[in-house]
């Protein structure tokens, strides 16, 4: 009869045999995408035309590199929003595997992180995808309320030719500022820097990896970046203050970047950001050289960004997903009604407009509200007169949102508007001065403040006086139905969930309501995406005459007309 020691020896020998022998030199290429926003195919389903960049083009490069060397393919979040293709899988065709799981599994992704727009579709969608992805979908700082453990997997270990790479994911903790709690119920979000410090120690002690790769669905940020008490963008601070990372992929802010940071131990960390919508791939070649101890590696990282727009479309990719693409082409081509007039968002940048008033009128109707707040969600979208198709609803309402109904006082409504117009229209001392906040960027002009925060109101008649100072520019004369507007009265207000949760600061910094008070003021919320209800509203009406209600004006009118003509041409060119 053999002794216990004999069996222990056999186990140790088997364990050693399973260990991959470490080599002197190993080269691994890390390829990363971020903020794909549904750009799976080289086709713009909303505008019915070819698109400049997509995963279909990226796969031409990725598959070539996978065939020739060791490749670690990772994604940095925000893939589940932005295109009808993913919307269809999120909300319409839910009885089969999600198209993002099908595509990313086909491409060979080995790790990914959850982005804020991946939380946006709700538990039913992201909980399902955790199981459908063939790779770990991570977020170490998304923490279960019940027991303090991570809601998603915090990190994963990937071994290639004896090299052990730890990959950890983080999500921006500012989600509660933008999304209703029921969408992220059961969890809370730790600050990335706090979470990273904890998990880096765990990984180093438990896993002893040769390399630590961070996937941060969070922007580069800086020492001053702070969103309502929460650090939305933290990649730079973590690279600087928490030794252990060799490389960080950041995103969320849609900024193209390669940046080297020296941490507190004088070690170099590379941060790469391949922008958004697969315009670029982050491509980092890592050369591992075995040290004299035969156990540890020294590393040399060579980062670059690959221009996906210059790549041809992968034929195997398109052949594999031909049926899925055609199914959604048919979906977005379905008629839902007719428009008697063409409408555009360009007019909405300068004043009251048919485009925004259509959304106002639908919100007022759906919520049975007194007043509506909304903003243009696209800079230069247009919907032609005639047949309206499903694709046009993505022009009318670009982002997924719920429709909220909230109680706000007359004073809070005025303060909300003062805040909105302060970010939108400059104070003018004389005719001919600049009116909007416009800056030059390269060869073009652009708005220097975010147009999706240009909230106007419907249900009240009011004016904006360009000559007056901040806080005293809005004058509300009456309700649109002729009733008196009362600063002390509580009104039923319709607005989207992003704004209702404090997004943009209109209700918090503007109207002075804290997060707890916002929750108390919420009286109703739709259960489905607002775009779904917009579609049903239009289907019921059949024919829609989108007109401008002209309930608000900009004064002095002569100043406004001159500035509008000049600045329209600056932003959009000649009519």
**Cα–Cα distance for residue pair 134/108, rounded to 1 Å:** 9
Residue 15 pLDDT > 70: no
Tens-digit pLDDT profile for residues 309-337: 999 999 999 999 999 999 999 999 999 99
**Cα–Cα distance for residue pair 449/423, rounded to 1 Å:** 7
What pLDDT does 7 receive?
A: 43
**Is the same domain home to 380 and 511?**
yes
Report the percent of the chain where pLDDT is more than 70: 95
Query: Among 236-245, 439-448, 494-503, where is mean pLDDT lowest?
Result: 439-448
Does residue 16 belong to any structural domain of this protein?
Answer: no
Which of 295, 328, 361 finishes a domain?
A: 328
**SS3 letters across 13-47:** HHHHHHCCCCCCEEEEEEEEECCCCCCCCCEECCC
Q: Binning pLDDT at 50, 70 and 90, where does residue 124 land?
A: very high
Of the candidates 393, 400, 367, 391, the residue with the CA atom closest to the CA atom of residue 122:
400
Residue 341 pLDDT > 50: yes
**Is the same domain home to 210 and 98?**
yes
**Is the same domain home to 359 and 282?**
no
Does residue 449 belong to any structural domain of this protein?
Answer: yes
Residue 1 pLDDT > 60: no
Q: What is the rounded average pLDDT of the residues 115-125? A: 96
Strands (E), 327-481: 335-339, 343-344, 371-374, 382-383, 386-389, 403-409, 438-441, 444-447, 456-458, 460-465, 474-479
Residue 552 structural domain: 335-572
Overall number of domains in the chain? 2
Residue 12 pLDDT > 70: no
The encoded tokens of residue 196 equal 């990273």
Q: What is the rounded average pLDDT of the residues 235-247? A: 98
**Is the same domain home to 449 and 470?**
yes
Q: Binning pLDDT at 50, 70 and 90, where does residue 226 land?
A: low
**Is the same domain home to 220 and 262?**
yes
Does residue 12 belong to any structural domain of this protein?
Answer: no
Q: What is the rounded average pLDDT of the residues 474-503? A: 97
Tens-digit pLDDT profile for residues 168-200: 999 999 999 899 999 999 999 999 999 999 999
**Is the same domain home to 307 and 360?**
no
Return phi, psi of residue 218, to 5°: -165, 145
Of the candidates 32, 29, 41, 33, the residue with the CA atom closest to the CA atom of residue 67:
29
**Is the same domain home to 198 and 52?**
yes
Q: Binning pLDDT at 50, 70 and 90, where does residue 574 land?
A: confident
Residue 16 pLDDT > 50: no
What pLDDT does 228 receive?
A: 57
Round the average pLDDT of the chain to a whole number and report it. 94
**Is the same domain home to 230 and 81?**
yes
The encoded tokens of residue 483 equal 């009733």
Does residue 124 belong to any structural domain of this protein?
Answer: yes
Does residue 1 belong to any structural domain of this protein?
Answer: no
What pLDDT does 224 receive?
A: 55
- The whole model's pTM is what? 0.91
Does residue 6 belong to any structural domain of this protein?
Answer: no
**Is the same domain home to 356 and 304?**
no
**Is the same domain home to 180 and 77?**
yes
**Is the same domain home to 306 and 427?**
no
- Show Cβ contacts of residue 346 under 8 Å, excluding neighbours closer than 6 positions: 379, 380, 382, 568, 571, 572
- Show Cβ contacts of residue 552 under 8 Å, excluding neighbours closer than 6 positions: 351, 352, 456, 457, 461, 462, 463, 464
Q: What is the rounded average pLDDT of the residues 45-64? A: 97
Which of 297, 328, 359 finishes a domain?
A: 328
What pLDDT does 17 receive?
A: 40
Tens-digit pLDDT profile for residues 193-224: 999 999 999 999 999 999 999 999 999 997 55
CATH code, domain carrying 450: 3.90.780.10
Residue 14 pLDDT > 50: no
Which of 294, 328, 362 finishes a domain?
A: 328
Give the helix ranges, DSSP H, for 321-409. Answer: 322-332, 354-367, 390-396
Of the candidates 289, 278, 281, 210, the residue with the CA atom closest to the CA atom of residue 249:
281
What pLDDT does 8 receive?
A: 44
Tens-digit pLDDT profile for residues 253-280: 999 999 999 999 999 999 999 999 999 9
Q: Report helix, strand or coil for 356.
A: helix
**Cα–Cα distance for residue pair 154/207, rounded to 1 Å:** 13
Return phi, psi of residue 424, to 5°: -105, -55
State in Å, rounded, how far the first CA of the chain is from the last one.
Answer: 95
Residue 3 pLDDT > 70: no
**Is the same domain home to 313 and 275?**
yes
**Cα–Cα distance for residue pair 353/33, rounded to 1 Å:** 37
**Cα–Cα distance for residue pair 361/498, rounded to 1 Å:** 19
What pLDDT does 5 receive?
A: 52
Residue 508 pLDDT > 70: yes
DSSP string, 548-562: ----EEEESHHHHHH
Does residue 7 belong to any structural domain of this protein?
Answer: no
Q: Binning pLDDT at 50, 70 and 90, where does residue 9 land?
A: very low
Does residue 8 belong to any structural domain of this protein?
Answer: no
């Amino acid at each position: 009869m053999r002794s216990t020691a004999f069996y222990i020896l056999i186990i140790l020998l088997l364990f050693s045999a399973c260990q991959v022998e470490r080599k002197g030199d190993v080269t691994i290429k890390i390829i990363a995408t971020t903020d794909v926003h549904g750009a799976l195919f080289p086709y713009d389903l909303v505008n019915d035309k070819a698109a400049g960049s997509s995963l279909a083009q990226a796969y031409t490069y990725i598959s070539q590199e996978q065939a020739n060397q060791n490749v670690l393919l990772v994604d940095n979040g925000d893939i589940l929003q932005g295109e009808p293709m993913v919307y269809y899988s999120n909300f319409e065709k839910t009885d089969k595997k999600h198209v993002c799981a099908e595509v990313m599994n086909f491409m060979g992704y080995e790790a990914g992180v959850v982005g804020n727009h991946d939380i946006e579709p709700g538990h039913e969608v992201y909980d399902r995808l955790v199981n459908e992805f063939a790779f770990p979908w991570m977020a170490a700082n998304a923490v279960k309320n019940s027991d303090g453990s991570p809601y998603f997997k915090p990190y994963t270990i990937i071994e290639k030719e004896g090299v052990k790479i730890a990959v950890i994911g983080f999500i921006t903790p500012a989600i509660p500022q933008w999304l209703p709690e029921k969408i992220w119920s059961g969890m809370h979000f730790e600050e990335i820097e706090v979470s990273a410090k904890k998990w880096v120690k765990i990984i180093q002690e438990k896993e002893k990896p040769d390399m630590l790769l961070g996937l941060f669905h969070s922007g580069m940020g800086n020492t001053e970046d702070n969103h309502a008490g929460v650090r939305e963008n933290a990649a730079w601070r973590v690279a600087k203050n928490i030794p252990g990372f060799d490389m960080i992929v950041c995103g969320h802010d849609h900024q193209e970047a390669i940046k080297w940071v020296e941490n507190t131990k004088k070690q170099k960390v590379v941060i790469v950001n391949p922008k958004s919508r697969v315009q670029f791939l982050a491509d980092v070649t890592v050369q591992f050289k075995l040290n004299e101890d035969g156990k540890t590696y020294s590393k040399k990282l060579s980062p670059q960004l690959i221009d996906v727009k210059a790549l041809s479309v992968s034929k195997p990719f398109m052949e594999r997903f031909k049926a899925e693409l055609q199914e959604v082409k048919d979906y977005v081509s379905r008629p839902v009604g007719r428009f008697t007039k063409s409408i555009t968002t360009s007019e909405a940048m300068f004043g009251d407009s048919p485009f925004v008033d259509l959304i106002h009128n639908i919100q007022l109707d759906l919520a049975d509200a007194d007043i509506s707040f909304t903003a243009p969600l696209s800079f230069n979208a247009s919907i032609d007169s005639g047949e309206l198709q499903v694709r046009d609803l993505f022009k009318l309402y670009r982002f997924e949102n719920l429709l909220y109904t909230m109680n706000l006082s007359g004073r809070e409504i005025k303060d909300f508007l003062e805040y909105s117009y302060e970010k939108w229209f400059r104070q003018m001392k004389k005719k001919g001065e600049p009116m909007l906040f416009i800056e030059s960027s390269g060869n073009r002009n652009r708005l220097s403040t975010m147009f999706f925060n240009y909230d106007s109101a419907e249900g009240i008649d009011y004016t904006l006086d360009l000559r007056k100072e901040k806080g005293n520019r809005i004058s509300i004369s009456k309700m649109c139905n002729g009733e008196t507007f009362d600063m002390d009265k509580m009104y039923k207000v319709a607005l989207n969930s992003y704004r209702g949760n404090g997004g943009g600061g209109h209700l918090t910094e503007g109207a002075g309501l804290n997060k707890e008070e916002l929750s108390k003021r919420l009286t109703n919320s739709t259960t489905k995406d607002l775009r779904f209800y917009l579609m049903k509203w239009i289907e019921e009406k059949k024919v829609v005459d989108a007109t401008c209600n002209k309930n608000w004006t900009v004064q002095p009118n002569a100043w406004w007309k001159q500035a509008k003509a000049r600045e329209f041409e600056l932003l959009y060119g000649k009519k």
